[in-house]
Amino acid sequence: QVQLVESGGGLVQAGGSLRLSCAASGREFRFYAMGWFRQAPGKEREFVAAISWSGGSTNYADSAKGRFTISRDNAKNTVYLQMNSLKPEDTAVYYCAAGDSGPSPKQHDYDYWGQGTQVTVSS
């Protein structure tokens, strides 16, 4: 069992940066791939980025490539999403998730989800 708590969201101007954190409970964290997803108002939840259990493999949505970086610290049971050059269209609730299918972009490959953190980017 893994419990996930996101933090680091907030209000930022376009072009700014935020770093999201996802703290996991449970010693099994290091065995799970981790993903970040987001859901904008009126839209379906979508994939943002994912990282393998070791950190050696990552996967990004086209919208995140070149701007976002996912990383993890297994000693701290934490995964991060560094978001740079933010755009108003990045406004969404961001969720982290844990699964055992590698850095997958598919939501059904993740078994555990956090409650989300709001990111708002003003123009």
CA distances from 10 to 91, 103, 108 (A): 10, 26, 27
| pLDDT at res. 75 | 92
| pLDDT at res. 1 | 82
pLDDT digits (tens, 9 = 90+) for 54-75: 999 999 999 999 999 999 999 9
- Close Cβ partners of 63 (under 8 Å, ≥ 6 residues apart): 48, 89, 90
Torsions phi, psi for 31 (to 5 deg): -95, -5
pLDDT digits (tens, 9 = 90+) for 4-45: 999 999 999 999 999 999 999 976 888 899 999 999 999 999
pLDDT digits (tens, 9 = 90+) for 76-113: 999 999 999 999 999 999 999 999 999 999 999 999 99
